[in-house]
Amino acid sequence: MSTQAAPGAAPRLFHPHFAGHDQISARTLGFWLYMLSDALIFAAVFAAYAVLNNRMGAAGGPIAPQVTNPLEGLWQTYAVLGSVATYSLGTVALKSGNKAGVMLGIILAIALALVFLGFEAHDLLGLMARGDGVTRSGYLSAFIILIATHGLHMVFGIIWMLVMLVQIPTLGFSANVVARLLNLRMFWQFQATIWVVIYVYVYMIGAF
Amino acid sequence: MSAPHTNPLDHPEVRMASAWRYISGFIASMVLMQAAFIVTLRQHPPYEQYALTIAGLALASLVSQAALFFGLDISRAQIWKSVSLVLTVPLFVLSVGLTVWMFQSLAARTMLMPATTMQPTLLQ
Amino acid sequence: MQVAVPGPWSPLFGRLTLAAIPYDNPILVATFAGVAVVGLVVVAAVLYYKKLGYLWREWLTTVDHKKIGVMYVILGLVMLLRGFADALMIRTQQAMAIGPNSPGVLGAQHGYLPPFHFDQVYSAHGTAMILFAATPILTGLTNIVVPLQIGARDMAFPYMNALSLWLTVAGAALVMISLFVGDFSAAGWVGLIPLTELPYSPGVGVDYWMWAIQISSIGTTLNAINMIVTIIKMRAPGMGWFRLPVFTWTTLSTNIIGLTAFPVLGVALALLGADRYLGAHFYTAGNGGNLMLYTNLFWIWGHPEVYFLVLPAFGIMSEIIPTFSEKPLFGYTTMVAATFAIAGISWAVWLHHFFTMAAGPDVNGFFSIATMLVGIPTGVKVFNWMFTLYRGRLTFATPMLWCLYGLFLLLAGGITGMMLAIPAINYTVHNSVFVIAHFHCMVLLVVTAIFAAVAYWFPKVFGFALNETLGRGFFWTFSTATTITFLAMFALGFEGETRRLDYIYDPAWRPMLWTEEFGIALYCVSLVYFVLMLYVSLRDRVPAAADPWHSARTLEFLTPSPVPFYNFAVTPEVNARDELAWRRQHGLEHARPEAFEPIHMPSNSGLSFITGMCALAMGFGLIWRIWWLAGAGLLGIVLVVIIRSFDKNLGYEIQPAEVAAMEEDLSLGGIIAEQPKRAPLTEAEAH
């Protein structure tokens, strides 16, 4: 790559009416970077889980095979993948500016996300009712916090979707709303990605 | 910093949404997870082989999601996302992998525990 | 699900009672009196000169990257002073409390600080210096300089930039509040585990430490996102990757570290929070917790954080040394490669902070070799700077002096670092002050680079230079003090002094401890020079040229001094790696655009400030377990985010005539000028 302009030619010193950058791309890239940093949050929690996932960590309490159920996890996997697919299909309707299509996708995604969270709440509340909450052992602390971290992301995504359900009819597809819908799509797809890792690493290896 | 002069719906990242990609992404991940589930239920292979199998299935699922859901590629619109992902994945692997390794080493040297009672982890 | 804590608790005030205010401690009362007087004078001055509106409109609500950067630097300097006061207290205690016959005053058996107070002082010293002084100052400098260096009008996300600042301020405010309400952590800045667990630290000190770091590191992560997107997306036309100034490169790499490392710190502290607030067992001594897990997670962040600090310092040196050598930087490409090599390796070295954990020789060997590898790219950098100096036309202005002393510190710190990378040596000197002296050399390298940068870019931002004579006085006293203090500390490390001692049991260390105390006294003299330098420079305000050093090489010195709030009247076209040097060489450095055009700018917003204050309230509520306050703070943050998302403000435009007037009279657009109210664009105008 040349580091200097060619000699002789009259150099251009200013660039009037420079269009600048495209705001939507900047926002999606920024949001993508946030997600990578979020991925490192999960990396650290996974590391904690890996360290505490043994009999020492369980301190005489239950361990992975007793608290995880791969079949239930599979239903949750379907729910979260379905939710991601419906939201993503909703953004296909965005191409034609179809408000009803986008909103339908969001509503279905919320419904499936609630199914997912229902399973999860049932699991966690069941554990706590048995006295196997975070106070029981290092292993259960790691298990519950890992699941809850992902669950909180899902809750946050649902709140975001609800806000978008208000903004699409009131603000229309302005640049800001479109950028948010694109970011939300990445955020939501990211939850499925993380869930796949949790499902494989916690539910299935734990059940072996 | 310029005011928006163009229709945001013409943005490449809006245009790249595609029904077939999302549906096939959904099916791919679903099938792969279903397969991993079946492998888990059968519980036949030894631990290492089992762990490698489902790790492979999970990796395939993650790659399919990156390509089909996120639509990552090296086009102008997506290149920086792909590059930053490629740079971040090693950090993810390093921070989890080296941690597992060092605690493995630590446990073997400091925790007096018969090997048979230890829960298998990925490295065993 | 409330974990039992000792002491009273009420729904309205949580654990907060009048007893939390340390009115019986004369040191803290005197400090409080001092802070209160200074605070009252500042508030009175603002009100007397009727500047409250100006302060709100032009500073607290600003989205201008330069003003945000200046506020970051001011915050960092205040915390640097706080950290220095702590250092003074530590040194003085150690100089006094030597041997069993040493007298004790103010309730202490020896010296003047009882152990619990002394422990808080050194914990606060480390926390304040690394997280609330060095980090914000460097963030501030990159905020100011990088958009100018790449020819941009602002950061990619100006509003989020302000948000990052106010979150950092909220964290710093918590550290300061802990002085006068309750106490601070007594478990070291790293949070020695399991000392930070509830049974061993039942007070609020650890909570202060934890939430202050947690809140400010969210700010740092957001800023990292902002910086990376700015560098990728906002470069001026012609600014290809291999024309980026090295400071911008180092900023990019440092923010990649910030983006990926700070989340791990967040998790390390959040899991500690789960232990302390929910009764979990991540790091507890029993019930299946694992102490080393905390240490591990903390240093996964901690070591990259070291490079997070030192890489921008390297960038600063790479800008200043060529300017004052009147030569292009030697080995630009290797410099960039070395920067990224350091950033990459920084992710595989963290275990060297706890070689003594008892992992096997294979693990220790791996991390030892990885650590030594860092020496290679760092060596490349040192040689590049040396070859830049070689046969250059050197001018020893203050920024250059700071950089050269920085090279000395890098050498001292780097070579001792290589020693510490060897596990066998590390086992011997672990936890001794040898380690302290080593990392103080590195951190003080960052500080010298910071003072170099402040002197170097000050005229660009404010339009007048810092006083050179007093600046030299500051440099010579500061660098002599550093040399004396830390050479003595290296010696004490070899003599076997361990760190964090509130009582010195071996009188043979007295000479070196008193040498250190002398060094600290010299630091106090340098502080006087610093204040005088600021005072005299502000009083005289000698106007500076666009390029005050006459040999600067990069794009930021193309703008007039002080740089107007819109940075570039017309976006420059970049033709060379050192654009300004290239223009000077072709006699083009005074070229001005032929015509001006309307400039679109974002409007100010008070919401970022309000979010920061909500975060402060939330943090305070969590620390004192005032649940309603914590909940209200959190709700406030969520609501502000949602309200902001409904905001339709499209920014405003400055018309060419106004731009022309501001380019003519620079005081109109400078950083301290008050801007007239400008109406935001309407939907119709934007299209």
On whether the CB atoms of residues A24 and B13 are closer than 8 A, the answer is yes
| C-alpha gyration radius of chain B | 21
Mutate to test the interface with B, among A116, A196, A202 (most CBs of B within 10 A): A196
Residue C669's pLDDT band (cuts 50, 70, 90): confident
Structural domain includes residue A92? yes
Q: Give the pLDDT score at A195.
A: 96
Residue A19's pLDDT band (cuts 50, 70, 90): confident
Measured between beta carbons, the chain C residues lying within 8 angstroms of B78 are none
Q: How far is C593 from chain B (nearest CA, A)?
A: 19
Neighbours of B82 (CB within 10 A): 16
Does C684 contact chain B (CB < 8 Å)? Answer: no
Q: Give the pLDDT score at B3.
A: 43
| Mean pLDDT in residue range C235-264 | 94
| C-alpha gyration radius of chain C | 25
Interatomic CA distance for residues C658 and C643, integer angstroms: 33
Q: Hey, what amino acid is at C505?
A: Y
Measured between beta carbons, the chain B residues lying within 8 angstroms of A202 are none
| Mean pLDDT in residue range C490-509 | 93
CB-based contact A13 C591, cutoff 8 Å? yes
Indicate whether A1 pLDDT > 50. Answer: no
- Which stretches within A9-137 are classed as H helix? 23-52, 55-58, 64-67, 70-94, 99-129
CB-based contact B95 C686, cutoff 8 Å? no
Convert the pLDDT of each residue in C419-456 to its tens digit.
999 999 999 999 999 999 999 999 999 999 999 999 99
Q: Give B72's contacts (C-beta < 8 A, 6+ positions apart).
A: B66, B78, B81, B82, B85
Convert the pLDDT of each residue in C173-183 to its tens digit.
999 999 999 99
Measured between beta carbons, the chain A residues lying within 8 angstroms of B58 are 196-197, 200-201
The proportion of chain B whose per-residue pLDDT surpasses 90, expressed as a percent, equals 50
Q: Domain boundaries in chain B?
A: 6-71, 77-124
CB-based contact C280 A145, cutoff 8 Å? yes
| Mean pLDDT in residue range C335-345 | 95
Mutate to test the interface with C, among B6, B82, B106, B118 (most CBs of C within 10 A): B106
Mutate to test the interface with C, among A32, A132, A141, A160 (most CBs of C within 10 A): A141
CA count, 13 A, side-chain hemisphere, C80: 23
Token pair for residue A86? 């419906």
Q: Which residue of A has its CA nearest to C276?
A: A135
Place of tokens 């229902």: A118
CB-based contact B120 A208, cutoff 8 Å? yes
The domain containing residue A84 runs over which residues? 71-207
Measured between beta carbons, the chain A residues lying within 8 angstroms of C648 are 171
Residue C31's pLDDT band (cuts 50, 70, 90): confident
CB-based contact C282 A25, cutoff 8 Å? no
Residue C575's pLDDT band (cuts 50, 70, 90): very high
Interatomic CA distance for residues A167 and C645, integer angstroms: 9
Indicate whether B114 pLDDT > 80. Answer: no
Cis peptide before A169 (omega within 30 of 0): no
Residue A8's pLDDT band (cuts 50, 70, 90): low
Q: How far is CA C509 from CA C343, C493, C499, in A?
A: 38, 10, 13
Measured between beta carbons, the chain B residues lying within 8 angstroms of C601 are 1
The proportion of chain C whose per-residue pLDDT surpasses 70, expressed as a percent, equals 99
Place of tokens 């009188």: C507
Convert the pLDDT of each residue in C158-168 to its tens digit.
999 999 999 99
Measured between beta carbons, the chain A residues lying within 8 angstroms of B26 are 81-82, 84-85
Indicate whether A108 pLDDT > 90. Answer: yes
Convert the pLDDT of each residue in B33-61 to its tens digit.
999 999 888 877 788 888 888 899 999 99
Mutate to test the interface with C, among B2, B96, B102, B119 (most CBs of C within 10 A): B102
Nearest to C158, CA basis, from C567, C506, C518, C603? C603
- The chains in contact with chain B, meaning 3 or more Cβ pairs closer than 8 Å, are A, C
Does A77 contact chain B (CB < 8 Å)? Answer: yes
CB-based contact C300 B1, cutoff 8 Å? no
Q: How far is A189 from chain B (nearest CA, A)?
A: 7
Give the closest of A71, A186, A205 to B70, CB-based: A186
Which of A5-9, A49-53, C6-10 is modeled with the greatest confidence? A49-53
Q: How far is A180 from chain B (nearest CA, A)?
A: 11
Indicate whether C2 pLDDT > 70. Answer: no
Q: Which residue has the higher pLDDT, C84 or A207?
A: C84
Q: Give the pLDDT score at B107.
A: 86
Helix/strand/coil percent split, chain A, to 5: 75, 0, 20
Q: A160-164, C301-305, C664-668 — which is least confidently predicted?
A: C664-668
Q: Give the pLDDT score at B4.
A: 47
Does B97 contact chain C (CB < 8 Å)? Answer: no
Nearest to C226, CA basis, from C256, C202, C203, C266? C256
Place of tokens 């509340």: A125
Q: How far is A99 from chain C (nearest CA, A)?
A: 18
The proportion of chain B whose per-residue pLDDT surpasses 70, expressed as a percent, equals 85
What are residue C543's phi and psi, to 5 degrees?
-60, 140
CB-based contact B90 C347, cutoff 8 Å? yes
Give the closest of B4, B66, B96 to A43, CB-based: B96
Structural domain includes residue A170? yes
Structural domain includes residue A172? yes
Does C225 contact chain B (CB < 8 Å)? Answer: no
Residue B119's pLDDT band (cuts 50, 70, 90): low
Q: How far is C294 from chain B (nearest CA, A)?
A: 11
DSSP codes of every residue in B50-114: HHHHHHHHHHHHHHHIIIIIS---SSTTTHHHHHHHHHHHHHHHHHHHHHHHHHHHHHHHH----
Q: How far is C233 from chain A (nearest CA, A)?
A: 6
Indicate whether B118 pLDDT > 70. Answer: no
Measured between beta carbons, the chain C residues lying within 8 angstroms of B102 are 296, 351, 357, 359, 363
Interatomic CA distance for residues A38 and C556, integer angstroms: 34
- The chains in contact with chain C, meaning 3 or more Cβ pairs closer than 8 Å, are A, B
Measured between beta carbons, the chain B residues lying within 8 angstroms of C260 are 88, 91
Task: For residue A29, give the 3-state DSSP assignment.
Answer: helix
On whether the CB atoms of residues C480 and C419 are closer than 8 A, the answer is no
Interatomic CA distance for residues B111 and B106, integer angstroms: 8
Q: Give the pLDDT score at B75.
A: 87
Q: B60-64, C382-386, C501-505, C682-686 — which is least confidently predicted?
A: C682-686
Interatomic CA distance for residues C173 and C260, integer angstroms: 25
Residue B2's pLDDT band (cuts 50, 70, 90): very low
Mutate to test the interface with C, among A27, A40, A145 (most CBs of C within 10 A): A40
Mutate to test the interface with A, among C223, C259, C351, C575 (most CBs of A within 10 A): C575
Q: Give the pLDDT score at C354.
A: 93
Q: How far is B75 from chain A (nearest CA, A)?
A: 13
Q: Which residue of A has its CA nearest to B98?
A: A47
Nearest to A82, CA basis, from A116, A124, A127, A55? A116
CB-based contact B102 C296, cutoff 8 Å? yes
Q: How far is C624 from chain A (nearest CA, A)?
A: 21
Token pair for residue C507? 């009188």
CB-based contact B3 C357, cutoff 8 Å? no
| Mean pLDDT in residue range C112-138 | 95
Measured between beta carbons, the chain A residues lying within 8 angstroms of B59 are none
Does A208 contact chain C (CB < 8 Å)? Answer: no
Measured between beta carbons, the chain C residues lying within 8 angstroms of B99 are 296, 300
Does A141 contact chain C (CB < 8 Å)? Answer: yes
Token pair for residue C528? 């006087």
CATH assignment at residue A187: 1.20.120.80
Structural domain includes residue A100? yes
Structural domain includes residue A149? yes
Q: How far is CA C391 from CA C219, C328, C362, C388, in A?
A: 43, 12, 46, 8
Residue B1's pLDDT band (cuts 50, 70, 90): very low
Indicate whether C112 pLDDT > 50. Answer: yes
CB-based contact C573 A176, cutoff 8 Å? no
On whether the CB atoms of residues C669 and C662 are closer than 8 A, the answer is yes
The proportion of chain C whose per-residue pLDDT surpasses 90, expressed as a percent, equals 85
Give the closest of C153, C232, C686 to B3, CB-based: C686
Task: For residue C576, give the 3-state DSSP assignment.
Answer: strand
Structural domain includes residue A63? no
Residue C620's pLDDT band (cuts 50, 70, 90): very high
Q: How far is A75 from chain C (nearest CA, A)?
A: 28
Q: Give the pLDDT score at B109.
A: 85
| Mean pLDDT in residue range A42-60 | 92
CB-based contact C359 B3, cutoff 8 Å? no
Task: For residue C111, give the 3-state DSSP assignment.
Answer: strand
Q: Which residue of A has its CA nearest to C273?
A: A145
Into how many domains does chain A fold?
1
CB-based contact C233 A29, cutoff 8 Å? yes
Q: Give the pLDDT score at B124.
A: 44
C 73-92 residues with CB < 8 A to B: none
Q: Give the pLDDT score at C28.
A: 86
